[in-house]
Amino acid sequence: MKENNKKVFSLKLFLKQYLFFLIMLILLGFFLIFKFDIGIKAATVIVSSFKEILLVLPPIFILIGLLDEWTSKETMIKLMGEKSGLKGILLAFLIGTVAAGPLYAGFPIAMILMKKHVKFFNIIIFIGAWSTTKIPMLLYEMSALGYKFALVRLALNIFVIIIIAYIMELVIKKDEISSIYKKAENY
């Protein structure tokens, strides 16, 4: 009896986790049958996205493994923990700014930072910096739009990232943040 309940629970969990994916797969099948040209275009985009992900994720996971193994929890707490102050904020900005890759690659790194007990505020700063203050983007903006535009945008982004991190720290309850950290520990 318990075996049977375990299988049903696993199926429910599977359906809950992959419901969106299954719906999209059914939609793709629908388009391939009834609107073949649209279905082929959608399948082409999906394959292209998977290729990009497969090229980006292995180096990111290697970086994550090295970060996890080479930096001790005590070092990260000292550099970016609850009492790190301005040093932690600057380091979060620096790591996010020099990082390479799309935003979705930054979330596993944020999870490692959570495992190392980095302050939540600094993790939000890191994600914000990863998404908006990258050096290659800044250099491109300087060449295409001018250095004044690029520097003003950078200054505004830094200001807004700090405000967002502050608001998120105020709005998200401590027990919710603790729950997020516990989930990160389990991965």
Write out pLDDT tens, residues 137-175.
888 899 999 999 999 999 999 999 999 999 999 999 999
Rounded-to-integer distance, Cα 63 and Cα 99, Å: 11
pLDDT at 12: 80
Whole-Å CA distances, 80 to 6, 124, 130, 178, 184: 42, 12, 16, 17, 17
- The stretch 41-58 carries a mean pLDDT of 86
- The stretch 76-94 carries a mean pLDDT of 89
* Count of other CB atoms within 10 angstroms of residue 63: 17
Rounded-to-integer distance, Cα 41 and Cα 25, Å: 14
pLDDT at 9: 63
What is the chain's mean pLDDT, rounded?
A: 86
pLDDT at 109: 87
Closest CA to 112 of 127, 94, 129: 127
Cβ burial 134-159 (10 Å sphere, 16+ → b, else e): beeebeebeeeeeeeebeebbeebbe
Dump pLDDT digits (tens) for 95-120.
899 887 788 888 888 988 998 899 99
